[in-house]
Amino acid sequence: GQQVMQIPQYQHVQEGEDFTTYCNSSTTLSNIQWYKQRPGGHPVFLIQLVKSGEVKKQKRLTFQFGEAKKNSSLHITATQTTDVGTYFCAASNNAGNMLTFGGGTRLMVKP
């Protein structure tokens, strides 16, 4: 099925530093979703991107879909301890009807 690679796998940051996770595919994606899973919790939907070059913001979070629709990024400005968790992308290509989840990026924030 569709493969999406997420990097980095882990990231430690000092509170107040920025953080970015990337989701990459070798094929063109139809859409991409981002989810957050707090430690010990379950994934919660954050946003969906559909258009080439699309940028969406949610407070300190900025989501971007690449021009070629083969990659996406989630950027957090000035991280806070509440940002701790694992961020997953989930994507599908035009041939598939199911989402495939990336491996996730685990964010740890030092106060």
Partner 1 sequence: DGGITQSPKYLFRKEGQNVTLSCEQNLNHDAMYWYRQDPGQGLRLIYYSQIVNDFQKGDIAEGYSVSREKKESFPLTVTSAQKNPTAFYLCASSKTSGRWETQYFGPGTRLLVL
Q: Which stretch binds partner 1 (CB under 8 A): 19-27, 58-66, 70-78, 97-105?
A: 97-105
Taking a C-beta distance cutoff of 8 angstroms, is the pair 15, 80 a contact?
Answer: yes
CB of 8 to partner 1, least distance (A): 12
- Side chain identity, residue 92: S
Rule CB under 8 A: which of 54-73 touch partner 1? none
Single residue of 8, 41, 52, 58 touching partner 1 by CB under 8 A: 41
In a 3-state reduction of DSSP, which class is residue 83? helix
Cβ neighbours of residue 5 closer than 8 Å, sequence gap 6 or more: 23, 24, 25, 102, 103
- Segment near partner 1 (CB under 8 A); pick from 29-37, 52-60, 64-72, 73-81: 29-37
Strand 29-37, strand 43-49: pairing = antiparallel
Rule CB under 8 A: which residues touch partner 1? 1, 6, 9, 30-31, 33, 35, 41-45, 48, 88, 90-92, 96-104, 106
